[in-house]
């Protein structure tokens, strides 16, 4: 019996190997077949969309088509789940692409050079808006919603972490809170070191750090601003990981235990970002009394966009409330110094080098929002200029190392800050007609309505479904309209000359209680509003006088 069993064993082994090989080959063919079917489905879908977008319809047929799509949208919006979101996105793209196709083929028959100049300017602004809408859907339609990974129970396996708190001109009373909170982070004492990186070279900071036993690092100059400060600190420290907090961002005790698990699970993970949460109102919230009742300006980015970026492995580093792997950071030459948005550029470089980035949408620190509108605008100008610099010098659509999804997410985040000029085009388009009689769109009012309304309605309601509690459509218009005039110039200048301008620090000195109207910042919009009102009134008076 034993011999028979031994003799029979090899055939059974060969049979098992043959079956395993057959199964593996079948699995490989099955995966290939699924990929092929998916590709065919995408191609067929795109062809059908192209057919729907380009089919010519008269006014009544277009109105019927628009009403049918709108009715379908109203039904689908009530359905839960991500599939319904994708259906809404598809309907929105159909309406928007159909509108743009109609604009390009039926409305550009201009009679003179002024109509041509202003009309083509408007179509370029609309085309930009369409690109941002499409890329926005790619970013936000399917957010990842990553969950924390639990740390090993044996703390001897936990890595060493250096906490960097860079400071330049913040008051010690503000930075103290962050330092004390960093010291209190729940992590083995022998594996946690806190450093204040003082670019202001202040003696009271040095004395305070010595008194409480935290590291104090400074340098002889301020080359490359915050990025240079961080890179200098890298030379004097040796922790396996680096947690970074702005001087006013107070971390929770659980910060590292929430964030570090993913680094132990993914050896290629170079950076993990958590949200920036603010316990004070920003200028919009303070002046309009919307604090905690309306999502603030940054909530869309930290509540949805970063989760969407995470799906594509394209999470942005935001300069604070984040952890970076030292070896990965050193591999790309440290924090990027070529642009004024060193954080976003560093994340791009990490992704180009093949490293992963991640996002946990769990607030683990709280900070101060910008106190005044002027400081808020100055901060957004720096962000806009920095993104334009990256787009100009290290364009994510070009070069090696990025997947298609990463390229699109980075590109959309940079293109977003180009909205200044298109927004001003839309705001001044009525003046072009009222002042100069320029016809920037050659079509009847009914045809314009039949194509424009579906485009705007679908885009607005679809984004409302996706963005939900993170951004209300009306407030999006308010935020961008206020900033448009001020970011337009720096963005255009950065595209022409990326090295122009310096790094401006966002001052944060506490909470401003009093309210005041900033007439200087409001001046361009007061002029625009006055012009529209005067010209509209004049034209209305002329029409009234001519009427019998």
Query: How does DSSP assign 513-540, residue by residue?
Result: -S----HHHHHHHHHHHHHHHHHHHHHH
Mean pLDDT of all residues belonging to the chain = 89
The helices-and-strands tally (H runs, E runs) of the chain is 20, 10
- pLDDT at 518 > cutoff 80: no
- Asked if residue 357 lies in contact with residue 350, where contact means CB atoms within 8 angstroms, the answer is yes
Cα–Cα separations (whole angstroms), residue 524 to 10, 448, 521: 87, 30, 7
Residue with tokens 């390009």: 104
- pLDDT at 541 > cutoff 90: no
Residue with tokens 């039904």: 75
Cα–Cα separations (whole angstroms), residue 506 to 140, 166, 168, 197, 370: 29, 13, 10, 17, 8
Contacts of 355 (CB under 8 A, 6+ apart): 268, 269, 270, 271, 325, 328, 331
The pLDDT of residue 532 is 76
Which residues are registered as beta bridge partners of 216? 196
Tens of pLDDT along 267-325? 999 999 999 999 888 888 888 788 878 888 889 999 999 999 999 999 999 999 999 99
- Asked if residue 394 lies in contact with residue 338, where contact means CB atoms within 8 angstroms, the answer is yes
Confidence of residue 537 (pLDDT cuts 50, 70, 90): confident
Percent of the chain with pLDDT over 90: 64
- pLDDT at 387 > cutoff 70: yes
- pLDDT at 492 > cutoff 70: yes
Which position among 246, 307, 343, 394 bears the catalytic label?
Answer: 343
Confidence of residue 382 (pLDDT cuts 50, 70, 90): very high
The 3-state DSSP class for residue 35 equals: helix
Which residues are registered as beta bridge partners of 367? 278
Contacts of 401 (CB under 8 A, 6+ apart): 351, 352, 353, 354
Q: What angle do CA 314, 329, 397 make, to 5 degrees?
A: 35
Which residues are registered as beta bridge partners of 217? 197
The 3-state DSSP class for residue 348 equals: helix
Q: What angle do CA 215, 216, 219 make, to 5 degrees?
A: 140
Angle at which helices 82-106 and 445-467 cross, to 10°: 150
First to last CA, the chain: 117
Integer Cα distance of 232 and 197 in angstroms:
9
Tens of pLDDT along 87-143? 999 999 999 999 999 999 999 988 889 899 999 999 999 999 999 999 999 999 999
Radius of gyration of the chain (CA): 28
- Looking at per-residue confidence, does 53 or 516 come out higher? 53
The 3-state DSSP class for residue 297 equals: coil
Cα of 360 vs its chain's centroid, Å: 15
Query: If you write DSSP's letter for every residue of 495-520 in order, what string do you get?
Result: HH-TT-S-PPP----S---S----HH
- pLDDT at 2 > cutoff 80: no
The pLDDT of residue 503 is 57
123-127, 214-218, 332-336, 541-545: range with lowest mean pLDDT = 541-545
Which residues are registered as beta bridge partners of 258? none
Dihedral through CA 281, CA 286, CA 292, CA 296, nearest 10?
-70
The pLDDT of residue 3 is 45
What's 197-237 look like in SS3? EECCCCHHHHHHHHHHCCEEECCCCCCCHHHHHHHHHHHHC
The 3-state DSSP class for residue 471 equals: coil
The pLDDT of residue 5 is 42
Which position among 199, 282, 307, 394 bears the catalytic label?
Answer: 199
CATH tag for 159-278+304-369 (out of 2.30.30.100, 3.90.79.10, 3.10.20.90, 3.90.550.10):
3.90.550.10
- pLDDT at 494 > cutoff 80: yes
Closest to 351 measured CA to CA, from 263, 270, 231: 270
Contacts of 523 (CB under 8 A, 6+ apart): none
Query: If you write DSSP's letter for every residue of 404-438 in order, what string do you get?
Result: HHHHHHHHHHHHGGGTHHHHHHHHHHHHHHHHH--
The pLDDT of residue 504 is 58
- pLDDT at 30 > cutoff 90: no
Cα of 313 vs its chain's centroid, Å: 13
Structure tokens at 386: 């920095």
The 3-state DSSP class for residue 23 equals: helix
Which residues are registered as beta bridge partners of 251? 365
Average pLDDT over residues 58-69: 95
Asked about 343 being catalytic, the answer comes back as: yes
- Asked if residue 324 lies in contact with residue 271, where contact means CB atoms within 8 angstroms, the answer is yes
Average pLDDT over residues 401-415: 96
- Asked if residue 353 lies in contact with residue 406, where contact means CB atoms within 8 angstroms, the answer is no
The pLDDT of residue 324 is 98
H helix or E strand, kind and range, residue 486: helix 473-496
Contacts of 110 (CB under 8 A, 6+ apart): 116, 119, 439, 442
Residues making up the chain, counted from first to last: 548
Backbone angles phi, psi at 339, to 5 degrees: -130, 170
7-11, 290-294, 537-541: range with lowest mean pLDDT = 7-11
- Asked if residue 129 lies in contact with residue 424, where contact means CB atoms within 8 angstroms, the answer is no
């Amino acid at each position: 019996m034993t011999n028979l069993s031994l003799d029979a064993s090899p055939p059974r082994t060969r049979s098992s190997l043959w079956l395993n090989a057959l199964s593996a080959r079948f699995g490989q063919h099955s995966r290939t077949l699924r990929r092929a079917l998916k590709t065919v489905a995408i191609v067929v879908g795109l062809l059908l969309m192209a057919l729907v977008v380009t089919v010519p319809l008269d006014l009544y047929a277009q109105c019927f088509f628009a009403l049918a799509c709108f009715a379908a949208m109203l039904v689908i919006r009530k359905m839960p789940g991500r599939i319904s979101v994708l259906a809404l996105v598809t309907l929105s793209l159909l309406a928007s692409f159909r509108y743009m196709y109609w604009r390009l083929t039926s409305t550009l028959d201009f009679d003179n050079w002024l109509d041509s100049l202003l009309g083509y300017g408007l179509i370029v602004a609309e085309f930009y808006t369409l690109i941002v809408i499409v890329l926005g859907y790619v970013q936000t339609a399917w957010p990842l919603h990553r969950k924390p990974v639990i740390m090993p129970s044996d703390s001897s396996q936990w890595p060493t972490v250096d906490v960097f708190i860079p400071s330049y001109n913040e008051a010690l009373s503000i930075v103290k809170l962050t330092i004390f909170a960093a010291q209190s982070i729940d992590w083995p004492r022998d594996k946690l070191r806190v450093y204040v990186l003082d670019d202001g070279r202040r003696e009271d900071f040095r004395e305070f750090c010595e008194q409480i036993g935290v590291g104090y690092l400074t340098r002889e100059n301020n080359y490359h601003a915050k990025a240079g400060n961080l890179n200098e600190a890298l030379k004097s420290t040796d922790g396996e990981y680096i947690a970074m907090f702005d001087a006013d961002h107070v971390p929770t005790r659980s910060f590292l235990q929430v964030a570090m698990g993913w680094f132990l699970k993914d050896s290629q993970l170079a950076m993990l970002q958590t949200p920036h949460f603010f316990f004070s109102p920003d200028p919009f919230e303070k002046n309009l009394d919307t604090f905690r009742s309306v999502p603030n300006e940054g909530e869309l980015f930290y509540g949805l966009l970063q989760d969407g970026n995470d799906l594509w492995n394209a999470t942005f580093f935001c300069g604070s409330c984040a952890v970076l792997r030292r070896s990965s950071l050193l591999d790309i030459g440290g924090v990027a110094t070529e642009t004024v948005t060193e954080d976003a550029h560093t994340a791009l470089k990490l992704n180009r080098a093949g490293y992963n980035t991640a996002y946990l949408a769990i607030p683990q620190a709280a900070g101060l929002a910008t106190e005044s509108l002027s400081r808020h605008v100055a901060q957004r100008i720096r962000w806009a200029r920095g993104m334009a610099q990256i787009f100009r010098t290290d364009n994510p659509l070009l070069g090696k190392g990025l997947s298609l999804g990463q390229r699109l997410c980075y590109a959309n985040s940079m293109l977003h800050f180009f909205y200044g000029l298109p927004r001003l085009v839309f705001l001044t388009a009525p003046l072009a007609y009222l002042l100069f009689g320029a016809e920037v769109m050659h079509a009847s009012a009914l045809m314009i309505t039949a194509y424009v309304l579906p485009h705007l309605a679908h885009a607005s309601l679809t984004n409302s479904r996706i963005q939900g509690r993170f951004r209300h459509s009306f407030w999006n218009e308010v935020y961008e309209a206020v900033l448009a005039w001020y970011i337009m110039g720096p963005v255009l200048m950065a595209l022409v000359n990326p090295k122009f301008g310096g790094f401006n620090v966002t001052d944060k000195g506490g909470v401003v209680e009093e309210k005041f109207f900033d007439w200087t910042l409001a001046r361009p919009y007061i002029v625009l509003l006055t012009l529209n009102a005067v010209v509209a009134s004049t034209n209305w008076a002329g029409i009234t006088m001519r009427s019998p």
